[in-house]
Structure 1
Amino acid sequence: MLKKGKYNYIWIGAVILVFGIIFVPRIVARLQNDDVVDINRMNTDPEDAPLSYIYLNGEKRKVPEFALLNQDSLLITDQDYLGKVYVAEFFFTTCPSICPIMNRNLVELQQEFKDYENFGVASFTINPEYDTPSVLKEYAEAYGITDMDWHLLTGDSDAIYALANSGFNIFAAEMPDVPGGFEHSGLFALIDQQGYIRSRKDSFGNPIIYYRGAISLDQEVNAQGETEQISLLKEDIEKLLKENTSGK
């Protein structure tokens, strides 16, 4: 007679055999068709997934108040951007590295959305002592900045750095030892018509928060292996513009 323990081994072996016959082929088929990957990843298709709000301490993160002069010496505040979808950046006109790429990308967006009255750009200089309205005016003309709602903004240095580092959480600082004398991240923020920072989510369901502004469309991947995100930003701007039109 077989002992009870041996019966247990026989039953366990039978269960394993049945599982292998029924389920293993199905698992292999799903892997071959990428079904497992699709099910476990967040869909980031802008046609299907709404843009995320950014939360801080349980509240939607909104652009803080600001009042600065633009390239035409006009006072521009955060209230002037209400009702518009806009991109915000921090730059300086004498930047020898990433700013030219950033602003060429923004000119690309300007051309893409030139027929939309409710699209704009806010470019905050992190070198306001040099970047006066007249300097910003020359810079705008050199880059072909023609959108009436693209304001190159200058003013109090402390206010601008607080806006960058505390308001947007986009790093900017004076650093005499680096080329150009200033360090900044090269990120773009996308703001909706109510003044809230918005973004798409990554494959894990987390908001990306900001978009890489210092990688050109034709470059696709930089030396650090980071992919360009201007094409994603275009899609998300269009989504917010449609959201505004539909009254959502």
Structure 2
Amino acid sequence: MMKNKSYIGVSLVILVFGIIFIPKIIERIKDGSVIQGDRIDGVSNHRSKSANTGLVKIGPEPAFSLTNQDNKTITKKDYAGKVHVVEFFFSTCPSICPKMNQNMLVIEKEFLGNPNFGIISITINPDTDTPQILKDHAEALGVASSNWNFLTGKQDYIYDLANKGFNLYAGQNSNVSGGFEHSGYFALVDKEGNIRSRKDKNGNPIIYYNGLEKEDVKAIIKDIKKLLNE
């Protein structure tokens, strides 16, 4: 008898649940929001907000320790919490560097005064580009940002950093004008030290931005703004 009463009680609970909650579940299915409970909504919205930049994480920025134009040691930690752009160049470059420098100045001007943005220019000809030479070079360019560092160090270290760390080619070549050759691309790094990029029209990461192309400069400026707001 008691067993029958238990079955009846369970049946009543199931009946009440069906009357009260099943219509609501059906309504949520119709709205396409059956999995969007209040707590799930909160997580979902947070993820959407984080992902809406559309920028892919390529990998971590390599660690480095180099000397800037003021003869101070600069490391990756000095850019922690800052969105920044990295390039490899040399001050006596007769080919692509002047255009890269001018395009980097456009980027600097866009974010001048923003303490959360910076630029790193690393020479691939450190025997010539001493801190004083780099300081003179920065002044000649008209660099205004205190967060734009021109860095030098040992050549082998810099080449490893370029070729193995960033995967941006740098090397010596006596057959080319200036005696050195290097990538004309800019690396974009977020506040957490991740190299980031947008996708191309086919949905593939571009990985780096062409420092010689105006369209890529416009693109990197837009993407810097996105990362500053993350």
- TM-score tier by shorter-chain length is 0.7 to 0.9
Q: Structure 1 length normalisation: TM-score?
A: 0.71
Could you tell me which amino acid in structure 1 is paired with residue 216 of structure 2? Q
Specify the alignment match of 1:239 in structure 2. 226
Q: Do structure 1's residue 112 and structure 2's residue 116 form an aligned pair?
A: no
- 1:128-207 matched pairs, under 5 angstroms: 128-207=126-205
CA drift of 1:205 comes to: 1.2
Q: 2:63–2:76: 8 Å Cα contact kept in structure 1?
A: yes
1:51 is aligned to: 55
Residues of 2 paired with 1:134 and 1:49: CA distance?
39
Deviations 1:76-129 (A, max 9, x none): 001101100000000000000110100111111111001311100010000000
Q: Give the root-mean-square deviation of aligned CA atoms.
A: 1.2
Equivalenced residues, count = 180
Shift of 1:148: 0.7
- Counterpart of 1:24 in structure 2 is none
Provide the secondary structure at the position in 1 that maps to 2:191.
Answer: coil
Identity over aligned pairs, percent:
54
Aligned equivalent of 2:216:
229
Q: Measure the CA separation in 1 of the matches of 2:75 and 2:122.
A: 12
User: Residue 126 of structure 1 aligns to which amino acid in structure 2?
Assistant: I
Structure 2: gaps spanning 5 or more residues: 1-50
Check if 1:208 corresponds to 2:206.
yes
Determine the C-alpha separation between the residues in 1 that align with 2:53 and 2:146: 31
The amino acid of 1:160's aligned partner reads I
In 1: Cα distance, 2:62 partner to 2:169 partner: 16
Moved over 3 A (4+): none
1:69 and 2:56 are equivalent in the alignment: no
C-alpha distance in 1, partners of 2:65/2:86? 14
CA distance in 2, matches of 1:53, 1:229: 18
Distance in 1 between residues matched to 2:137 and 2:205, nearest whole Å? 33
Which has the larger share of helix? 2
1:229 counterpart SS class: helix
**1:132-181 Cα deviation digits (max 9, x unpaired):** 00000000000011211100000011110001000000011000110000
Q: Deviations over 1:24-59 (max 9, x none)?
A: xxxxxxxxxxxxxxxxxxxxxxx95521111xxxxx
Task: Describe the SS at the equivalent of 1:190.
Answer: strand
Once residues 203 and 50 of structure 1 are traced to their aligned partners in structure 2, the CA distance between those partners, rounded to angstroms, is 12
Distance 1:242 1:114 in 2: 16
Q: Which residue is equivalent to 1:23?
A: none
